[in-house]
Amino acid sequence: MKILVTGANGYLGQGIVRQLLDDGIEVIAADFSTENIDKRAKSISCDLFSVQDPFDYFSKPDVLLHLAWKNGFVHNADSHIVELPLHYRFIKEMVSGGIVRLCVMGTMHEVGFYEGSINENTPTNPKSMYGIAKNALRNAAGLLCEESNVVFQWLRGFYIVGNTKFGNSIFSKITAAEEKGDKLFPFTMGINQWDFIDYDDFCIQVGAAVEQREINGIINICSGRPEKLSERVERFISENNYKIKLDYGKFPDRPYDSKAVWGDDKKIKQILEERLQKTKE
Protein backbone atom coordinates (compact mmCIF):
# COMPACT_ATOMS: atom_id res chain seq x y z
CA MET A 1 0.00 0.00 0.00
CA LYS A 2 1.25 3.47 -0.93
CA ILE A 3 -0.31 6.41 0.95
CA LEU A 4 0.03 10.08 0.07
CA VAL A 5 -0.20 12.20 3.23
CA THR A 6 -0.83 15.91 2.70
CA GLY A 7 -0.06 18.37 5.47
CA ALA A 8 2.60 15.90 6.54
CA ASN A 9 4.84 18.49 8.20
CA GLY A 10 2.09 19.75 10.48
CA TYR A 11 1.43 18.93 14.12
CA LEU A 12 -0.75 15.93 13.28
CA GLY A 13 1.03 14.96 10.10
CA GLN A 14 4.40 14.35 11.71
CA GLY A 15 3.09 11.76 14.16
CA ILE A 16 0.73 10.11 11.70
CA VAL A 17 3.45 9.72 9.07
CA ARG A 18 5.75 8.18 11.68
CA GLN A 19 3.01 5.76 12.74
CA LEU A 20 2.30 4.68 9.15
CA LEU A 21 6.00 4.09 8.54
CA ASP A 22 6.31 2.08 11.76
CA ASP A 23 3.43 -0.05 10.45
CA GLY A 24 5.36 -0.81 7.26
CA ILE A 25 3.41 1.50 4.95
CA GLU A 26 5.06 3.25 2.00
CA VAL A 27 4.48 6.96 2.60
CA ILE A 28 4.70 9.94 0.25
CA ALA A 29 4.66 13.01 2.49
CA ALA A 30 3.72 16.40 1.02
CA ASP A 31 3.74 19.88 2.54
CA PHE A 32 5.14 23.38 1.96
CA SER A 33 8.08 22.44 4.18
CA THR A 34 9.34 18.93 4.89
CA GLU A 35 11.96 19.61 7.57
CA ASN A 36 10.18 17.78 10.40
CA ILE A 37 8.96 14.76 8.43
CA ASP A 38 10.35 11.33 9.24
CA LYS A 39 13.25 10.68 6.85
CA ARG A 40 11.94 7.23 5.98
CA ALA A 41 9.13 8.84 3.98
CA LYS A 42 9.48 10.16 0.45
CA SER A 43 9.05 13.86 1.17
CA ILE A 44 7.89 16.37 -1.43
CA SER A 45 7.93 20.12 -0.80
CA CYS A 46 5.21 21.83 -2.84
CA ASP A 47 2.19 24.08 -2.98
CA LEU A 48 -0.46 21.39 -3.06
CA PHE A 49 -3.01 23.47 -4.92
CA SER A 50 -0.59 24.46 -7.71
CA VAL A 51 0.42 20.93 -8.66
CA GLN A 52 -0.65 19.85 -12.14
CA ASP A 53 -1.89 16.27 -12.57
CA PRO A 54 -1.36 15.51 -8.84
CA PHE A 55 -2.04 11.76 -9.10
CA ASP A 56 0.92 11.31 -11.46
CA TYR A 57 2.99 13.98 -9.72
CA PHE A 58 2.75 12.08 -6.43
CA SER A 59 3.68 8.73 -8.01
CA LYS A 60 0.16 7.26 -8.26
CA PRO A 61 -0.63 6.48 -4.61
CA ASP A 62 -3.28 3.93 -3.67
CA VAL A 63 -4.67 6.07 -0.86
CA LEU A 64 -4.90 9.82 -0.22
CA LEU A 65 -4.83 10.83 3.44
CA HIS A 66 -5.71 14.52 3.29
CA LEU A 67 -4.62 16.29 6.47
CA ALA A 68 -3.71 19.64 4.89
CA TRP A 69 -5.71 22.55 6.29
CA LYS A 70 -4.80 26.12 7.17
CA ASN A 71 -5.78 27.86 10.44
CA GLY A 72 -7.39 24.83 12.02
CA PHE A 73 -7.28 26.50 15.45
CA VAL A 74 -8.55 29.89 14.21
CA HIS A 75 -12.14 28.81 13.88
CA ASN A 76 -13.53 31.86 12.11
CA ALA A 77 -10.65 32.63 9.75
CA ASP A 78 -11.75 33.51 6.20
CA SER A 79 -9.28 30.96 4.82
CA HIS A 80 -11.64 28.10 5.71
CA ILE A 81 -14.23 29.29 3.21
CA VAL A 82 -11.82 30.82 0.68
CA GLU A 83 -9.75 27.64 0.32
CA LEU A 84 -12.61 25.14 0.44
CA PRO A 85 -12.90 24.99 -3.40
CA LEU A 86 -9.14 24.36 -3.63
CA HIS A 87 -9.38 21.35 -1.33
CA TYR A 88 -12.30 19.99 -3.32
CA ARG A 89 -10.54 20.49 -6.66
CA PHE A 90 -7.39 18.73 -5.40
CA ILE A 91 -9.39 15.81 -4.05
CA LYS A 92 -11.41 15.57 -7.28
CA GLU A 93 -8.23 15.44 -9.36
CA MET A 94 -6.83 12.68 -7.16
CA VAL A 95 -10.05 10.70 -7.45
CA SER A 96 -10.12 11.19 -11.22
CA GLY A 97 -6.48 10.15 -11.37
CA GLY A 98 -7.12 6.75 -9.84
CA ILE A 99 -6.84 6.56 -6.06
CA VAL A 100 -8.85 3.66 -4.68
CA ARG A 101 -9.51 5.20 -1.26
CA LEU A 102 -9.89 8.72 0.09
CA CYS A 103 -9.32 9.48 3.78
CA VAL A 104 -9.84 13.03 5.06
CA MET A 105 -9.27 14.50 8.51
CA GLY A 106 -12.46 15.97 9.89
CA THR A 107 -13.38 17.58 13.18
CA MET A 108 -16.07 17.37 15.83
CA HIS A 109 -16.68 21.07 15.12
CA GLU A 110 -18.66 19.96 12.05
CA VAL A 111 -21.42 18.94 14.42
CA GLY A 112 -21.84 22.33 16.06
CA PHE A 113 -23.51 22.82 19.43
CA TYR A 114 -24.51 19.39 20.66
CA GLU A 115 -24.64 17.52 23.94
CA GLY A 116 -24.01 13.81 24.26
CA SER A 117 -22.31 11.11 22.23
CA ILE A 118 -21.57 11.86 18.56
CA ASN A 119 -21.87 9.05 16.03
CA GLU A 120 -21.98 8.92 12.23
CA ASN A 121 -25.71 9.68 12.20
CA THR A 122 -25.58 12.72 14.49
CA PRO A 123 -27.01 15.78 12.64
CA THR A 124 -24.50 18.51 11.79
CA ASN A 125 -25.12 22.21 12.29
CA PRO A 126 -21.67 23.83 12.53
CA LYS A 127 -21.33 27.18 14.29
CA SER A 128 -17.89 28.28 13.03
CA MET A 129 -16.32 28.87 9.62
CA TYR A 130 -13.98 25.97 10.32
CA GLY A 131 -16.85 23.60 11.03
CA ILE A 132 -18.90 24.89 8.09
CA ALA A 133 -16.04 24.37 5.63
CA LYS A 134 -15.12 20.93 6.92
CA ASN A 135 -18.72 19.80 6.87
CA ALA A 136 -19.15 21.04 3.30
CA LEU A 137 -16.00 19.21 2.21
CA ARG A 138 -17.24 16.02 3.88
CA ASN A 139 -20.52 16.14 1.99
CA ALA A 140 -18.91 17.03 -1.33
CA ALA A 141 -16.09 14.47 -1.07
CA GLY A 142 -18.49 11.75 0.02
CA LEU A 143 -20.73 12.35 -2.98
CA LEU A 144 -17.71 12.42 -5.30
CA CYS A 145 -16.44 9.10 -3.97
CA GLU A 146 -19.86 7.52 -4.24
CA GLU A 147 -20.14 8.55 -7.90
CA SER A 148 -16.58 7.39 -8.63
CA ASN A 149 -16.71 4.09 -6.71
CA VAL A 150 -13.89 5.21 -4.41
CA VAL A 151 -13.86 4.06 -0.77
CA PHE A 152 -14.39 7.07 1.53
CA GLN A 153 -13.26 7.48 5.13
CA TRP A 154 -13.92 10.67 7.09
CA LEU A 155 -11.78 10.68 10.24
CA ARG A 156 -13.62 12.90 12.72
CA GLY A 157 -11.02 14.10 15.20
CA PHE A 158 -11.72 15.16 18.77
CA TYR A 159 -9.53 17.03 21.29
CA ILE A 160 -5.86 16.04 21.12
CA VAL A 161 -3.55 16.16 24.12
CA GLY A 162 0.17 16.54 23.41
CA ASN A 163 3.13 18.23 25.08
CA THR A 164 4.80 19.82 22.07
CA LYS A 165 5.00 23.60 22.01
CA PHE A 166 4.62 23.71 18.23
CA GLY A 167 0.90 22.99 18.04
CA ASN A 168 -1.95 25.46 18.58
CA SER A 169 -4.02 23.52 21.10
CA ILE A 170 -4.35 24.69 24.68
CA PHE A 171 -1.90 21.94 25.68
CA SER A 172 0.74 23.21 23.24
CA LYS A 173 0.21 26.77 24.44
CA ILE A 174 0.62 25.69 28.07
CA THR A 175 3.84 23.87 27.15
CA ALA A 176 5.16 26.98 25.38
CA ALA A 177 4.20 29.17 28.36
CA GLU A 178 5.93 26.77 30.75
CA GLU A 179 9.11 26.89 28.69
CA LYS A 180 8.97 30.70 28.75
CA GLY A 181 8.79 30.60 32.53
CA ASP A 182 5.27 32.01 32.86
CA LYS A 183 3.77 31.60 36.33
CA LEU A 184 0.10 31.78 35.26
CA PHE A 185 -1.83 30.65 32.20
CA PRO A 186 -5.05 32.59 31.44
CA PHE A 187 -7.93 30.14 31.29
CA THR A 188 -11.71 29.80 31.16
CA MET A 189 -13.59 28.26 34.07
CA GLY A 190 -12.95 24.89 32.40
CA ILE A 191 -16.39 23.45 33.10
CA ASN A 192 -17.05 22.01 29.63
CA GLN A 193 -16.69 18.23 29.24
CA TRP A 194 -15.04 17.03 26.05
CA ASP A 195 -13.49 13.93 24.51
CA PHE A 196 -9.71 14.10 24.99
CA ILE A 197 -7.30 11.71 23.28
CA ASP A 198 -3.53 11.58 23.75
CA TYR A 199 -1.47 12.46 20.68
CA ASP A 200 0.16 9.02 20.34
CA ASP A 201 -3.20 7.26 20.64
CA PHE A 202 -4.63 9.63 18.04
CA CYS A 203 -1.88 8.69 15.57
CA ILE A 204 -2.35 4.98 16.27
CA GLN A 205 -6.08 5.25 15.63
CA VAL A 206 -5.61 7.19 12.37
CA GLY A 207 -3.04 4.66 11.18
CA ALA A 208 -5.29 1.73 12.03
CA ALA A 209 -8.26 3.33 10.24
CA VAL A 210 -6.47 4.14 6.98
CA GLU A 211 -4.60 0.84 6.79
CA GLN A 212 -7.88 -1.07 6.44
CA ARG A 213 -10.83 -0.67 4.07
CA GLU A 214 -13.61 -2.75 5.60
CA ILE A 215 -14.94 -0.09 7.99
CA ASN A 216 -15.60 3.21 6.25
CA GLY A 217 -17.66 6.39 6.30
CA ILE A 218 -17.38 8.60 9.36
CA ILE A 219 -14.92 7.14 11.87
CA ASN A 220 -14.49 8.95 15.19
CA ILE A 221 -10.87 9.32 16.30
CA CYS A 222 -11.56 9.64 20.00
CA SER A 223 -11.36 8.21 23.51
CA GLY A 224 -15.10 7.57 23.71
CA ARG A 225 -15.67 9.35 27.01
CA PRO A 226 -16.04 12.93 28.30
CA GLU A 227 -13.76 14.63 30.81
CA LYS A 228 -14.04 18.10 32.32
CA LEU A 229 -11.63 20.52 30.62
CA SER A 230 -10.22 21.84 33.90
CA GLU A 231 -9.53 18.32 35.17
CA ARG A 232 -7.77 17.23 31.97
CA VAL A 233 -5.63 20.36 31.84
CA GLU A 234 -4.70 20.12 35.51
CA ARG A 235 -3.80 16.48 34.95
CA PHE A 236 -1.72 17.44 31.91
CA ILE A 237 0.21 19.96 33.98
CA SER A 238 0.80 17.36 36.69
CA GLU A 239 1.78 14.60 34.23
CA ASN A 240 4.47 16.82 32.75
CA ASN A 241 5.67 18.21 36.11
CA TYR A 242 5.00 21.78 35.00
CA LYS A 243 5.09 24.60 37.54
CA ILE A 244 2.62 26.86 35.74
CA LYS A 245 -0.80 27.44 37.30
CA LEU A 246 -4.16 28.02 35.64
CA ASP A 247 -5.61 31.52 36.04
CA TYR A 248 -9.30 30.63 36.01
CA GLY A 249 -11.99 32.92 34.58
CA LYS A 250 -9.73 35.12 32.42
CA PHE A 251 -11.54 34.07 29.23
CA PRO A 252 -15.21 33.30 28.61
CA ASP A 253 -16.27 29.98 27.13
CA ARG A 254 -16.82 30.11 23.37
CA PRO A 255 -20.57 30.32 22.74
CA TYR A 256 -20.46 27.56 20.09
CA ASP A 257 -18.64 25.03 22.28
CA SER A 258 -20.73 22.14 23.54
CA LYS A 259 -21.10 21.74 27.29
CA ALA A 260 -20.60 17.97 27.21
CA VAL A 261 -19.73 16.06 24.04
CA TRP A 262 -17.78 12.94 23.18
CA GLY A 263 -17.27 10.52 20.32
CA ASP A 264 -18.96 7.17 19.88
CA ASP A 265 -15.91 4.87 19.66
CA LYS A 266 -17.70 1.75 18.37
CA LYS A 267 -16.11 1.84 14.90
CA ILE A 268 -12.56 2.65 15.98
CA LYS A 269 -12.68 0.01 18.72
CA GLN A 270 -13.71 -2.58 16.15
CA ILE A 271 -10.89 -1.50 13.84
CA LEU A 272 -8.33 -1.72 16.65
CA GLU A 273 -9.64 -5.10 17.81
CA GLU A 274 -9.47 -6.56 14.30
CA ARG A 275 -5.98 -5.11 13.88
CA LEU A 276 -4.86 -6.77 17.11
CA GLN A 277 -6.39 -10.07 16.04
CA LYS A 278 -4.52 -9.98 12.72
CA THR A 279 -1.20 -9.35 14.48
CA LYS A 280 -1.83 -12.39 16.70
CA GLU A 281 -2.53 -14.54 13.64
Looking at the annotation, which residues are catalytic? 130
Pairing of strands 159-161, 151-157: unpaired
Nearest one of 202, 46, 35, 18 to 27, comparing CA atoms? 18
Distance CA 82, CA 79 (A): 5
What is the SS3 assignment for 172? helix
Length reported for the chain: 281
Distance CA 46, CA 16 (A): 19
List the beta bridge partners of residue 28: 4, 42
- Backbone torsions φ then ψ of 263, nearest 5 degrees: -90, 140
User: Residue 79, class by beta-carbon neighbours within 10 Å (0-12 exposed, 13-18 middle, 19+ buried)?
Assistant: middle
Nearest one of 128, 257, 140, 267 to 209, comparing CA atoms? 267
